[in-house]
């Protein structure tokens, strides 16, 4: 996972402070030194690190014990705020033109992920905003770039404009834009050519395309895995082009996090999206605050909540809540609940988003067996409708029948029925307004 090492180092740096009411100057010095090393090791730009540590020092000095936070909690909060600020505070949305089409031009080195990102972003707009994008294939240098875009366009059902590799990219852009106007596409993506390094020819070509296309957005694509080089590359592009946003790709493979933390600070350009995999759906809006809490291992609660909201059928939830209140929650509802949880994604990933869990050593050894879900479903499907609605009916001989029917050991059937019973009791209490247990869990 991204930022693994940084998370570990930072939480170690701050753990030393736990349990202290006040922080002595020496404690603070030591913690700041650890934070500095953690950031440098994560390949964060040197000047950014210097500024970061100075700001944290300033805020920590000025902070008195407040809001009931203890010293360690305050430092965590200060570091969290500073991380957020370094990455740009707020998510910055994609620019949009008042006229159609909105033109989005890509820039970046070869292999950074431009072509992949064009497909991901166009697909995102199509799914979320019903957009009708046209993709222009203007990368005439990288072997197979055009074909790659054409295949992606076909798979995702989006038109691609191409003229092969023998035509000048400027010409391709002109013709592509004309076609977009004619077909009333609302978005145009221009996939441009990169080189292995920044060079004059590439920059000239990009500048020419910028002039021709007058893009509303120039998205610079950089590969997070290249760390400091990503930052230096971004600086080079930002000097020559009017970059409006950055897409940080391959964050799924970046265990350090240096680029995510430096780019905004060094170039002044906001990271707008992050690529977290090779599939068309692996592109996310970049939220500095969420990223900060993820780096600190506080988990990404907001993402979890959003995911839950997206996947969970609200009407069904309301119905189930009603049933819990009336104490008529049965095995049919139990299976529905299991299915909803499964839809949210691999359980291990979800657990990591819970504050305190990402770095919890306990989780390292936990292997949540998705098969268990399937087994539970199998047991429930061996029940008669009457048994599903009235779990009290399920006596020992019926349990043996269920075990045989599902091909599972009887202990498993017993365990599941017991869990179900406990869950029902807990739900019943919770819906009566007795949240005592829950508050304790949340540390309230
Ligand atoms: P381009 O030369 O800039 O157009 O780069 P491509 O779009 O062809 O990407 C280069 C390689 O990086 C391809 O193999 C992509 O599948 C891969 N890639 C792009 N974005 C991501 C990402 O966010 N995560 C991972 N793991 N791979 C990516």
Report the distance separating Cα 291 and Cα 300, nearest Å. Answer: 8
- Place 379 in a pLDDT band, splitting at 50, 70 and 90: very high
112 annotated ligand binder:
yes
119: burial class by Cβ within 10 Å (0-12, 13-18, 19+)?
buried
252 annotated ligand binder:
yes
Dist. CA 71 → ligand 1 center (Å): 43
Burial 126-154 (b: 16+ CB within 10 A, else e): beeeebbbbbbbbbbbbeebbebbbebbe
Assigned token pair, 254: 């970046």
Closest residue by Cα to atom 12, ligand 1, is 113
pLDDT given for residue 418 in this prediction = 87
pLDDT given for residue 440 in this prediction = 34
Mean pLDDT of 184-192: 97
Report the distance separating Cα 255 and Cα 3, nearest Å. Answer: 5
Pocket of ligand 1 (CB under 6 A): 108, 110-116, 142, 145, 194, 221, 249-250, 252-253, 275-278, 282
Report the distance separating Cα 229 and Cα 377, nearest Å. Answer: 50
Order across the sheet with 187-191: list the strands: 160-161, 133-137, 187-191, 102-107, 217-223, 245-249, 271-275, 283-285
**What phi and psi, each to the nearest 5 degrees, are found at residue 29?**
-55, -50
Lowest mean pLDDT among 82-91, 145-154, 346-355: 346-355
Assigned token pair, 341: 């949880």
| Ligand 1 atom closest to residue 112's alpha carbon, by position in its atom list | 3
pLDDT at 435 over 50: no
Nearest CA to 156 out of 191, 187, 127, 179 is that of 127
Q: What is the mean pLDDT of the chain?
A: 84
| Ligand 1 atom closest to residue 118's alpha carbon, by position in its atom list | 7
Assigned token pair, 413: 């059937």
Read off the pLDDT of residues 112-132 as tens digits, 9 standing for 90 and up: 999 999 999 999 999 999 999
Q: Give the global pTM.
A: 0.71
pLDDT given for residue 240 in this prediction = 94
Lowest mean pLDDT among 52-61, 75-84, 313-322: 313-322
110 annotated ligand binder:
yes
SS3 415: helix
Mean pLDDT of 98-110: 95
Closest residue by Cα to atom 26, ligand 1, is 277
8 A C-beta contact, residue 344 and residue 308: yes
Instruction: Tell me the ipTM for this assembly.
Output: 0.99
Report the distance separating Cα 249 and Cα 110, nearest Å. Answer: 13
Report the distance separating Cα 84 and Cα 168, nearest Å. Answer: 42
8 A C-beta contact, residue 77 and residue 69: yes
Is the peptide bond between 101 and the residue preceding it cis, with omega within 30 degrees of 0? yes
Dist. CA 279 → ligand 1 center (Å): 10
8 A C-beta contact, residue 408 and residue 372: no
Label residue 397 left, alpha or beta by phi (over 0 means left) and psi (-120 to 50 means alpha): alpha
Domains of the chain: 4-87 (1.20.120.140), 102-293 (3.40.50.300), 304-441 (1.10.260.30)
- Place 441 in a pLDDT band, splitting at 50, 70 and 90: very low
Q: What is the H or E stretch that residue 105 is in? A: strand 102-107
pLDDT given for residue 437 in this prediction = 36
pLDDT given for residue 436 in this prediction = 36
Neighbours of 229 (CB within 10 A): 16
Mean pLDDT of 376-394: 90
SS3 325: helix
pLDDT at 8 over 90: no
Dist. CA 124 → ligand 1 center (Å): 17
pLDDT at 6 over 80: yes
pLDDT at 84 over 50: yes
Neighbours of 12 (CB within 10 A): 12
8 A C-beta contact, residue 222 and residue 260: no
pLDDT at 92 over 80: yes
């Amino acid at each position: 996972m991204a930022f693994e090492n940084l998370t570990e180092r930072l939480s170690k740096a701050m753990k030393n402070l736990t349990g202290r009411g006040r922080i002595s100057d020496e404690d603070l010095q030591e913690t700041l030194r650890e934070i500095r090393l953690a950031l440098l090791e994560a390949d964060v730009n040197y000047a950014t690190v210097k500024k970061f540590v100075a700001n944290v020092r300033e805020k920590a000095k000025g902070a008195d014990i407040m809001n009931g936070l203890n010293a360690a909690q305050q430092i965590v909060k200060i570091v969290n705020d500073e991380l957020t600020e370094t990455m740009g505070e707020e998510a910055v949305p994609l620019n949009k033109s008042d006229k159609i089409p909105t033109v989005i031009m890509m820039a970046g080195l070869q292999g950074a992920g431009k072509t992949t990102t064009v497909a991901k972003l166009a697909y995102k707009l199509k799914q979320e905003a019903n957009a009708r994008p046209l993709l222009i294939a203007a990368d005439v240098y990288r072997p197979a770039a055009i074909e790659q875009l054409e295949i992606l366009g076909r798979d995702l059902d989006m038109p691609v404009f191409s003229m092969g590799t023998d035509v000048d990219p400027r010409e391709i852009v002109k013709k592509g834009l004309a076609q977009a106007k004619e077909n009333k596409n609302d978005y145009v993506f221009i996939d441009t050519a990169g080189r292995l390094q920044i060079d004059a020819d590439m920059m000239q070509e990009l500048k020419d395309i910028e002039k021709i296309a007058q893009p509303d957005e120039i998205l610079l694509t950089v590969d997070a895995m290249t760390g400091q080089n990503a930052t230096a590359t971004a600086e080079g592009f930002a000097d020559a082009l009017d970059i409006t946003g950055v897409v940080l790709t391959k964050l799924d493979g970046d265990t350090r996090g240096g680029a995510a933390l430096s780019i905004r600070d060094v170039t002044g350009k906001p990271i707008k999206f992050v690529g977290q995999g090779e599939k068309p759906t692996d592109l996310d809006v970049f939220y500095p605050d969420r990223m900060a809490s993820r780096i600190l291992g506080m988990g990404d609660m907001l993402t979890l909540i959003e995911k839950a909201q997206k996947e969970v059928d609200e009407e069904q939830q309301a119905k189930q809540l009603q049933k819990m209140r009336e104490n008529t929650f049965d095995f049919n509802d139990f299976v529905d609940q299991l299915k909803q949880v499964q839809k949210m994604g691999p359980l291990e990933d979800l657990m990591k988003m819970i504050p305190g869990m990402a770095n919890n050593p306990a989780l390292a050894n936990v292997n949540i067996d998705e098969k268990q879900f399937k087994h539970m479903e199998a047991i429930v499907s061996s029940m008669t409708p009457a048994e599903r609605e009235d779990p009290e009916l399920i006596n020992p001989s019926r349990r043996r029948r269920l075990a045989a029917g599902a091909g599972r050991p009887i202990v498993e059937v017993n365990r599941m029925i017991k869990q179900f019973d406990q869950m029902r009791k807990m739900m019943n209490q919770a819906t009566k307004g007795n949240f005592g247990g829950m508050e304790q869990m949340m540390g309230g």
